[in-house]
Structure 1
Amino acid sequence: MSHDPNCLFCRIAAGEIPAQKVYEDDELIAFKDIRPAAPVHLLIIPRQHITGLGDVTAEHEALLGRMMTLAPRLAVEQGATNGFRTVINTGPDGGQEVYHLHLHVMGGPRPWKHG
């Protein structure tokens, strides 16, 4: 499994940098975003260093499937019971800031929309 010692998310996966983890197994880690854009804002990352969605191949199909099936379960567990959104930013024009594949899972109650 590849690891980039200069990558923030590889360092989180290796336990070198703390994160508020909500899930982890041999292939994936999920943790709370440090700059949340919603009441529930998680990142799901593979332990394997993959730069971005543009770099995935057929060998990553099962991994991507696991990320996508984990997202709804974690969203609900973390309080996004009325819906959520998923986003994968890819490359500079796609808004990617950390060049390690990651799936944003965002949702939760939005009190500013009611009233």
Structure 2
Amino acid sequence: MISTAEDCIFCKIVSGEIPADKVGETEHTVAFRDINPQAPTHVLVVPKVHQPDIASLAAAEPEVAVALLQETQRVANDEAGGSYTLLFNTGADSFQTVFHCHGHVLAGFDTLHFPAATN
């Protein structure tokens, strides 16, 4: 099921309705630690506007997509010394479970044990 802004967990985090371990916030984005980390550093960076995926965000609001990428770089520098993997799942078949655009900033793992990072 694709979420709407009314039932979206990330929209609720953005609005403050649901607490999160935030590591940053800008005019256009919120960055917070993943509650089920897949790497020693695992931070989600989400736009404040509700779009289902990165392509939709880039088409609808390119300036917000740029802000999202800039914030991922800041998070990676602060949290991981600038060396990281940035992952956007797009669609249910790619394991996207929350249909609000979000980038996973992953770092601190051995890429030999994280196959998606080796491609």
Q: Give the TM-score range, shorter chain.
A: 0.7 to 0.9
Higher mean C-alpha displacement, 84-93 vs 101-110:
101-110
Cα deviation, residue 54, structure 1: 4.1
What residue is the counterpart of 2:117 in the other structure? none
What residue is the counterpart of 1:103 in the other structure? 103
Cα deviation, residue 17, structure 1: 0.4
The one-letter code of the counterpart of 1:22 is: V
What residue is the counterpart of 1:48 in the other structure? 49
What residue is the counterpart of 1:37 in the other structure? 38
Residues 92 and 15 of structure 1: is their aligned pair in 2 closer, same or farther, counting only changes over 3 Å?
same
The one-letter code of the counterpart of 2:72 is: A
Residues 6 and 66 of structure 1: is their aligned pair in 2 closer, same or farther, counting only changes over 3 Å?
same
What residue is the counterpart of 2:86 in the other structure? 86
Query: Are 2:31 and 2:43, in contact at CA under 8 Å, matched by a contact in 1?
Result: yes
> Could you say what secondary structure the match of 2:39 adopts?
coil
Cα deviation, residue 96, structure 1: 0.4
Cα deviation, residue 59, structure 1: 3.8
Please report the TM-score for the alignment, with normalisation by the length of structure 2.
0.81
Please report the TM-score for the alignment, with normalisation by the length of structure 1.
0.84
C-alpha distance in 1 between matches for 2:102 and 2:59: 18
More helix by share: 2
C-alpha distance in 2 between matches for 1:14 and 1:84: 28
C-alpha distance in 1 between matches for 2:82 and 2:47: 26
> Could you say what secondary structure the match of 1:56 adopts?
helix
Regions of 4+ moved over 6 Å? none
Runs of 5+ consecutive residues of structure 1 not aligned to the other structure? none
Query: Are 1:30 and 1:44, in contact at CA under 8 Å, matched by a contact in 2?
Result: yes
Runs of 5+ consecutive residues of structure 2 not aligned to the other structure? 114-119
